[in-house]
Structure 1
Amino acid sequence: MKKGILEIRDLRKHYRLRRTRLLKKPGSIKALNGVSLSISKGESFGLVGESGCGKSTAAYTIVGLLKPTEGRILFKGNDVTSLNRDQKREFRKKVQLIFQDTSGSLNPKGTVEWILREPLRAMGMQKKEIKELILESMNLVGLDKDLLGRFPHELSGGQKQRVGIMNALILNPEVVIADEPISSLDVSIQAQILNLMNDLQERLSLTYLFISHDLNVVHYFCDRIAVMYLGEIVELSESEELYRSPLHPYTQSLLSAIPGETGHKLERIILEGDAPSPLNPPTGCFFHPRCFRRMAICSSVKPQMTEVTKDHFVSCHLY
């Protein structure tokens, strides 16, 4: 695996459940089950999969909102899971998160100016410096300064998302993790936000980890894409290569569900049943109960990630 500005190595996050019986061992939900990836500086890296596959858990674990069960998170080669308090504070300035639900992530009791001012004040910045930085940031994301006195409920969906983006960028990060940043917006507003994020990446030399359930959006926005299923990466490739030649049956089914001309020429694939529970995942390949190309080995042996062609990796016994 290539070294990048942000590296995730065998990341696991298991949620231990409450004991239901005195002598029965409590179970655990395996939200992340050994995720590894490396993101290069200046890259837009996409993480895509169905709801509940562990994408948001990965985002929250990387930025430190959740503690990993196992694994390592490296930023510029330094393991952030073993940093001291001051070092973690510095890391959190350099790796910021844009939340999916801006309505829930913006304090409803504070004005836009207060929301943006508080993290800067906590860092010890002076009042005049804070005011100048906020005005500069408002201009950067295309918001009028008159909005500074408004509360979140007085903003449109697009305005709230721009405030959320500004809130992430105001500490001058190097890596931005965007968790479904446009899923709650109208299609016309989605395009505006994606174009804004592209522009900001060029102007500020940002690196993105872009999380979404929409392969069309990820294909448009990202340089490389990792496909996630039940807490695991099943395929990883450059965006165009993944669209042109999907290898994993799960990736093929996702692409086949996209209406209209997409360039991959796949007939519609209907998967059997629902995704298994992360509380009790299947043996072998997690996808085998729903796979239309499963073999006998799939139910008992877990496949390893294999580089099939240059920089195109897949976890599947077919390869």
Structure 2
Amino acid sequence: MKKPVKKAVFPVAGLGTRFLPATKASPKEMLPIVDKPLIQYAVEEAVAAGIDVLVFVTSRTKRSIEDHFDKAYELETELQTRGKAETLRIVQNVVPPHVTCVFIRQAEALGLGHAVNCARSVIGDEPFAVVLADDMVDNGADGCLSQMIRVFDQWQCSVLGTERVDPSETQSYGIVQANPIQESLSKLDGIVEKPKPEDAPSNLAVVGRYILTPAIFDKLDKVTRGAGGEIQLTDAIAALLKDEPVLAYEFAGKRYDCGSKLGYLMATVEQGLKHEELRESFKAYLSSLRFD
């Protein structure tokens, strides 16, 4: 029987060193884009795609993520007392009532592959999504995960979210070697973690969206530490390729690399220009700026 994708893993245990000192006491995933933290954008994308179990792989410094998705009794009571009905509605709908949040501690920072494997007991034998909040993808109502789940439903195999990058940037990504099947969809022949440009098999990069079959867990158990001394998810995917097909999907939408300061600023500006309450005044402000 075909099983739907109803669970998503959010690896959020990283230190966020590129944003220090802002992330010294606050997780990078809680950095706001206008009026919502990065992690909430990722969660909203998952919920819109039909995900109803959210698995956060955290560390001891990420308590504020748990608090953000928990019920805030004192705040809600205060908002209700003050008659702030719309603000109360926003706070109460950070996570819809039908969605379950699960929090798992990653005791050691051993890489993305290790973080995903930490969620094994919750995922069980079901296909699941992996969402990296650093990669914010905007495509209006048709989110990246929604697109990828449609591909999974048709092909019933693992799907990697990919996009073309400048060849000089391959050292920052997992890069795939793949043969096209149809527009925007290819079958993987191989995947390499952060190759030098001269060694890269292509410029088709895996970004922070995955749909994986549960067979990935056995591969994660067996892979040794790879690039950076970490357990790499790409190494497990390379091993999975020997047993079952894996697809690369070039999703529709704009990705912001919010793990970088420039990407974060770009996302903030462009989302501000789309914000219903702020866009006109923000646009006027930006138009008033003069650059030397």
* TM-score in same-fold range (> 0.5): no
Please identify the structure whose Cα radius of gyration is greater.
Answer: 1
